[in-house]
Structure 1
Amino acid sequence: MVVILKRDVKGTGRAGDVVKVNDGYARNMLIPKGYAIEATKGNIRSLEKVKEKQAEEEAQQRAAASEKAEQLKKAQVTIVTKSGEGGRLFGSITSKDIADAVKEQTGISVDKKKIKLDQPIKNLGTFHVEIKLYYDINAEITVTVTD
């Protein structure tokens, strides 16, 4: 029997794949649990429409991420905080602090989980921070920490 998978099934395929499986496996496991639907002409047409719509949405998201990356490449963010002797900070600058500063100073909203910091910033100075905007689109901003 040929079925269209609605979600990933280990050993069978990924969501959206049209696969040929044993009749019993399809009737007793995949279809009743909602993992797959039978591959009729109508279902295949609707799957193609869904894939087209997903491709359009992905293209829009990629374009928006590229535009945001171009804006962020020009951005220089300054964070003012208290420091002690030798330029050591009281506490540290985390990805949340950087995301808040980017939003405040540039107006561009960035998810704190997308900011790549190897370690929290604990000294005064200038740092280059990478922000992952999309699968393969990254932007690097300059963060200056002063007191």
Structure 2
Amino acid sequence: MKLILTQPVSGLGSAGDVVDVKDGYARNYLLPRKLGTPWTKGGQKQVDAITAARAKREVRTAEEAASAKASLEGQAVQVEARAGNGGRLFGAVTSAEIAEAIAAAGGPQVDRRRIEVPAPIRNVGDHTAHVRLHEDVTATVTVTVTGA
């Protein structure tokens, strides 16, 4: 099934890309979450509008993303969560909590959907998270989890 992506999807493409995916992936994941719309001939106008808007923003945001990356990688972000004996958390640290901690530490406002955690954070200690600031710019953030 051909789709026009309306939001960036990790591992698939960015907004405005026309992608060919399996029917079940489109029907059960991309379309219900409004991450894509079915491709039609009239939809090509939508693709052109999205790519034109992205081209305008791209140069400006690339410079901002590079400066934000420098500030993010230089600091550790601290998140406090409830933990039991042995440092095991009750639940996991979410990307929304990491985004709040980045903002509280004086970093840039980051959307939680742009934060990728390689493995769920379920223990007290230092962990890494990747923040996609731009298509070509990804910052690695050190997340220090403390028990409460």
* TM-score (normalised: structure 2): 0.62
Report deviation, 1:118. Answer: 2.7
Contact (CA 8 Å) 1:9, 1:35: kept in 2 or not?
A: no
| Unpaired segments ≥5 residues, structure 1 | 1-6, 11-29, 37-46
Contact (CA 8 Å) 2:77, 2:101: kept in 1 or not?
A: yes
Structure 1 match to 2:132: 132
2:116 matched to 1:109? no
Structure 2 match to 1:65: 65
Report deviation, 1:136. Answer: 1.1
CA RMSD of aligned residues (A): 2.9
1:1-147 equivalences in 2 (<5 Å) = 55-147=55-147
| Unpaired segments ≥5 residues, structure 2 | 1-15, 20-40
Residues 91/54 of structure 1: CA separation in 2 closer, same or farther (3 Å cut):
closer
- In 2, Cα distance between equivalents of 1:140 and 1:74: 10
Contact (CA 8 Å) 2:118, 2:129: kept in 1 or not?
A: no
Provide Cα deviations, 1:89-116, integer angstroms capped at 9, x if missing partner.
0111010110011111124101111111
- In 2, Cα distance between equivalents of 1:127 and 1:9: 35
Residues 124/54 of structure 1: CA separation in 2 closer, same or farther (3 Å cut):
closer
Report deviation, 1:61. Answer: 1.1
Report deviation, 1:56. Answer: 4.8
* TM-score (normalised: structure 1): 0.62
- For the residue of structure 2 that corresponds to 1:106, the secondary structure is coil
Give % identity: 34
- In 1, Cα distance between equivalents of 2:104 and 2:92: 19
- In 2, Cα distance between equivalents of 1:61 and 1:9: 23
Residues 34/69 of structure 1: CA separation in 2 closer, same or farther (3 Å cut):
closer
Residues 115/35 of structure 1: CA separation in 2 closer, same or farther (3 Å cut):
closer
- Which has more radius of gyration? 1
